[in-house]
Structure 1
Amino acid sequence: MPIRTLALTSGDTTAEDHRLLVGSLLGGIDTTWPLDRRGGLFYSMGAASLDGEGMVATIRPFTAVVSGASSPLQGPYLVVSSEDTTVLLEDGPGTGPRADLIGVVIRDGAYDDSGTALAEVRVIDPDVDESYLPLFEVTVPQGASEGTGGIPWGSAVQDRRVYTASSGGILTLPDLAARSRLSAVQDGTLAHVVQDGDLYIRISGRWHPIAGKQAESEQLERLDNRFQQHPGEWQRVELESGVNHSGSFPVEVRRTPGGLVHMRGTFIIDEDREKLTSTSIARVPEGFEPFRLTRWVTASQQITAEDKNSTRLEVRSDGRIWVYTLYRPRWIGADNLTYWTN
């Protein structure tokens, strides 16, 4: 029957119906078969962790999903291990090391050739087992045995645990250390870190903050990067009659990719130029116009005396540079002036 449902008539609901329908609450994966579900452990601190001694691995309790791989309609199996489970590894080979993959194995005679129905934690045989969830890979050295001290557990174990969540669910993690331990998580997984209150999403194998203090900090950092000095080439401003560039310090501008314009240099004013009470003296290149009028007070020197003074400069939205002063200046500085473009 192509349409399945739970709780209509219990006697008519098969074990396969249960797996497929309960699996519909789990996160899907990007495959051509829409009933496939994402297998893995449900996160809790220490779930399915491994302790080793001699030739024996002990796996702590866990809750997991094991995807049935023998048939498209097999569905996912929900598995709960409520006690510590021990796995005895065979002695090391006579030549070279051996890699044993410990995991949760489903054998179901309705779909495979096992003739039985069971779930167990043991060493996986990929040539025989079809439906399994890997947990750890253990390197068994050549000749390792109980009598030789067994397996060097501190260096022999590689974590192969992966994690899953219900559809729309979020992993709740105590701290960033717990988040870092989740190295094999499907892209798109959400994780809430209780320690700092941040929410993360897994993209391309990395955790990215999307809400909370860390996300706000990264947003501010990206904003601060707009102020960093990554500008293009310096370009001279266009001068009007009676105004010149300093020979050593021409007035130039350049802009960052974010649109922050930097100005430097010195304007030299002809001695016969009229008083600059309100006068346009130059224009920035096209594309360097500010998004609104910007004003500064900058250093200058009077023509009638060797005294330093100050002058108001402004760059208008049309790109023209205007000067305001009560005297006739000899030069006007334009160093370290900045503004935003459109």
Structure 2
Amino acid sequence: MTVRAAWLLPTSQTREDTRLAPLGTMVPEDELTSRDGVLAGGDPLRATGVGPMQVQLGVGRAIVQGTLAQGAYPVSITAPETLMVRDGNAQYDRIDSLVVRVYDRLYDTTEQTGVTVEIIQGTPSPTPTSPTLPPATLRLWDITVPAGASAGVGGLEWARALADRRRYTTGHGGIVPRGWGLSFPGAYDGQYRDNGTTGLERWNAAARMWLPYPYDSGWQTLALASGFGNPGHGAVASWRRLGPMVMLRGRIGPTKSGATISNGTTIATLPAAIRPAGNREFAWASPRDVTNKAPAVTRVEITPGGIMRTFEMFDAPAWISLDGVTYCTD
């Protein structure tokens, strides 16, 4: 056998089957199911066109999740498998799927037990879509079959026909490699995945979303108190969080012409994501006052509740700069 599944047959599982199949607890999707997918390493289960209407699937290992009662099946393909794609429909294109499928007569109605590599044929349509898969089936590749395609007219243009649909899985606690699709949710707070472009992401269970790791919010506009805005000749007041570090930039000033900032004034409210565990403060020395010929020094505090306010002033500034202000949330 070149397509093997461990813990499927009621008898005759060999020692070799057990050694070749993936073992251990895989990445969970919930309390009793595992994330199915291909195990990374080399270029596992790669599809290659080897004839006008023939496709070959390379070696590799995978996990195929069945129903909740079934559990997950460890699968290994130890030699390339070649399959025939059926001729195209006379009128419409279709999309077929190259899959690994587990048959288990204890749980399905097929009256057979085994594991196969097969092509599930899609429905011809003006706008074809991938076929719906039966339970305990893992999609690996989609194959677009144009109308009228056959070996007699040249077959498939494999570079365009094949679409990679391999998704990856790993052992519990491991980082899930990038594969087909990033729309899947995490299973637990603190799960990691590689998004394949910018780096790692961490699942935030409370927010139910993947966040960059280390967390990077990007620059966000700061919500200012009523009566305050961004005076000219300065950037819009903004914040950015990198892990526990918060950076601020821009200017805050009264929107009323000629107004100044008084002592004890709330000038902004910080979102929960950047509120510090304890009070933070910074000083701002505004340009020299024309009359007193001295800088107007203002002290600003940020409270754990997210309030940014003046609390100690030696003069009333026309605006406050946030440029260069950094602090840690913890």
- Aligned-partner Cα distance in 2 for 1:128–1:263: 60
CA-CA distance at 1:154 after TM superposition: 2.6
SS at structure 2 position matched to 1:147: helix
The residue number in structure 2 matching 1:312 is 295
Q: Encode CA deviations 1:280-318: one digit per residue, 9 max, x unaligned.
A: x9834732499768463633446xxxxxx7223233677
The residue number in structure 1 matching 2:87 is 91
- Aligned-partner Cα distance in 1 for 2:90–2:228: 75
- Structure 2 spans left out of the alignment, 5+ residues: 1-9, 122-130, 240-247, 269-278, 301-309, 326-330
- Aligned-partner Cα distance in 2 for 1:84–1:43: 17
Show the 5 A alignment for 1:135-150. Answer: 135-150=140-155
CA-CA distance at 1:192 after TM superposition: 5.8
CA-CA distance at 1:89 after TM superposition: 0.6
2:314 partner amino acid? W
CA-CA distance at 1:168 after TM superposition: 2.1
The residue number in structure 2 matching 1:42 is 39
- Aligned-partner Cα distance in 2 for 1:255–1:120: 60
Q: Aligned residues: percent identity?
A: 21
Work out which of the residue numbers 57, 73, 80 in structure 1 matches 2:55: 57
Q: Encode CA deviations 1:118-152: one digit per residue, 9 max, x unaligned.
A: 21111136799543111122121122111211122
Show the 5 A alignment for 1:9-48. Answer: 25-30=25-30, 34-48=31-45
- Aligned-partner Cα distance in 2 for 1:26–1:145: 41
CA-CA distance at 1:66 after TM superposition: 1.4
Whether the aligned pair in 2 keeps the contact of 1:185 and 1:202 (CA below 8 Å) is: no
Show the 5 A alignment for 1:231-310. Answer: 231=224, 234=227, 262-263=252-253, 283-284=262-263, 286-288=265-267, 294=283, 296=285, 298-301=287-290, 310=293
CA-CA distance at 1:199 after TM superposition: 3.8
The residue number in structure 2 matching 1:68 is 66
- Structure 1 spans left out of the alignment, 5+ residues: 1-11, 174-178, 237-248, 268-280, 303-308, 324-332
1:63 partner amino acid? R
CA-CA distance at 1:103 after TM superposition: 0.2
Q: Work out which of the two has the higher radius of gyration on C-alpha atoms and give 1 or 2.
A: 1
Q: 1:316 to 1:167 in 2, by over 3 A?
A: closer
Q: 1:63 to 1:24 in 2, by over 3 A?
A: closer
Whether the aligned pair in 1 keeps the contact of 2:101 and 2:115 (CA below 8 Å) is: yes
- Aligned-partner Cα distance in 1 for 2:261–2:28: 63
SS at structure 1 position matched to 2:287: strand
- Aligned-partner Cα distance in 2 for 1:68–1:295: 62
CA-CA distance at 1:98 after TM superposition: 2.5
Work out which of the residue numbers 322, 325, 329 in structure 1 matches 2:314: 322
Q: 1:82 to 1:186 in 2, by over 3 A?
A: farther
The residue number in structure 2 matching 1:200 is 201
- Aligned-partner Cα distance in 2 for 1:94–1:195: 41
CA-CA distance at 1:102 after TM superposition: 1.2
Aligned length: 259
- Aligned-partner Cα distance in 2 for 1:192–1:293: 37
Q: 1:187 to 1:229 in 2, by over 3 A?
A: closer
Q: 1:149 to 1:338 in 2, by over 3 A?
A: same
Whether the aligned pair in 1 keeps the contact of 2:253 and 2:319 (CA below 8 Å) is: yes
1:201 partner amino acid? R
SS at structure 2 position matched to 1:99: strand
Larger mean CA deviation between 160-169 and 50-59 belongs to 160-169
With the length of structure 2 as denominator, give the TM-score of the two structures.
0.59
SS at structure 1 position matched to 2:89: coil
With the length of structure 1 as denominator, give the TM-score of the two structures.
0.57
